Amino acid sequence: MEEKLRHAREASISDKSITGKGKPPVASRAADVDLFLSQANAVTGTSGRGRLIFALDATLSRQPTWDIACRLQAEMFDVTAAQGGLSIQLVYFRGLNECRASQWLANAAALKGLMERIDCRGGQTQIERVLDHTAAQAAKARVGALVFVGDAMEENIDALCQSAGKLGLLGVKAFLFQEGQDPVAGQAFGEIARLTGGVHERFDLRAPQSLAGLLRAAAAYASDGVAGLTRLAGDEPTARRLLVTLGGAR
């Protein structure tokens, strides 16, 4: 029985497709996502590009953040275009033990099209699974950075730290962007950032451009490391701030 549960858990996140089960409306939406991904094959790819995993909490309270991230995600591609571009894999969790990952997407239209087909649902956080998935991807090919956007943490912090430590050993910095001031989430996000040599920053949903700046800075780092972030820092105050934070982490 335990073996079956383990295999079910491992199968619930896939870097090839996003699927779902449930009542007919949910199944219909899942089929729509799968169809979109099959049509998006022509715009996927990673050759010559930086790779960034873009992970979001898609539990029910996160719908406003999801909608804003959907509008802002194009800026991550735009800021790296001159450096060879960026491939992004979307990872999200929601509902009862549901955690999904997309294919690697090479343009903003593909990512936005996918995000528009996903709705937020109630459930608890699954940040450990995001970290473990990122480590598995990094073991296959270099991942420039992990970006996680959320506002809560409902897991064992020691387990999260263990997963973050493994990610740090693989050289993947985690950029954790926290909406709000929840102290439990803040402590966990700060520890994950410390263990990966990354960044923990808070943003206000009422000022979406603060999140936009954070996403641009993380994308610049994923595309070309400190050099990419340094180039952006000439025009972007947020990039300058993150560059100082990363300098202190090294």
Domains, in order of start, for the chain: 2-249 (3.40.50.410)
11-25, 42-56, 137-151: least confidently modelled range: 11-25
Residue 160 confidence (pLDDT) above 70: yes
18-32 pLDDT, tens digit each: 333 333 334 445 555
Distance (Å, rounded) from C-alpha 66 to C-alpha 116? 9
Distance (Å, rounded) from C-alpha 174 to C-alpha 164? 8
5-9, 51-55, 157-161, 193-197: least confidently modelled range: 5-9
Q: Which of 5, 103, 19 is nearest to 53 (CA)?
A: 103
Banded pLDDT at 111 (limits 50, 70, 90): very high
